[in-house]
Amino acid sequence: MLRVAPDQWRSFPALRKILENKRLPDSYYGFGIIPRNSFERLGWVLDIAHLACEYEADIRNAVGISMEANEIRKDLDELRNELAGAISFIDDTSRRVKRLCSTL
């Protein structure tokens, strides 16, 4: 079962309260387990994003019961920004690989 380490939730305290004991369905992993490597941050940001999407109803239900909507919105905006940064990083890496390929 996937567990996001406590320090990895640092930027998403409201989402942590809702999602930290949830697990991603096995369908996200296929037959193996995603290995952790030097790009671990990208991995756990995607893990948290998938958890948020998978448990959208739990997040909506938490509003007004145990949390303020603004707390959750702040975390979701931060998560979206992290994902945008990851997209930028991946796009840049893809362009560099394409440039390398074209020079061969």
- The pLDDT tens digits of the residues spanning 38-71 come to 356 788 889 999 999 999 999 999 888 777 889 9
Task: Compute the distance between CA of residue 12 and CA of residue 17 in angstroms, rounded to an integer.
Answer: 9
Task: Compute the distance between CA of residue 101 and CA of residue 48 in angstroms, rounded to an integer.
Answer: 33
What pTM did the predictor assign?
A: 0.69
Collapsing DSSP to helix, strand or coil, 5 comes out as: coil
pLDDT in tens, 22-35: 877 766 555 444 44
Task: Compute the distance between CA of residue 42 and CA of residue 89 in angstroms, rounded to an integer.
Answer: 10
Range list of β-strands (E), the chain = none
Question: Does residue 71 contact residue 11 with C-beta atoms inside 8 Å?
Answer: no
Question: Does residue 18 contact residue 57 with C-beta atoms inside 8 Å?
Answer: no
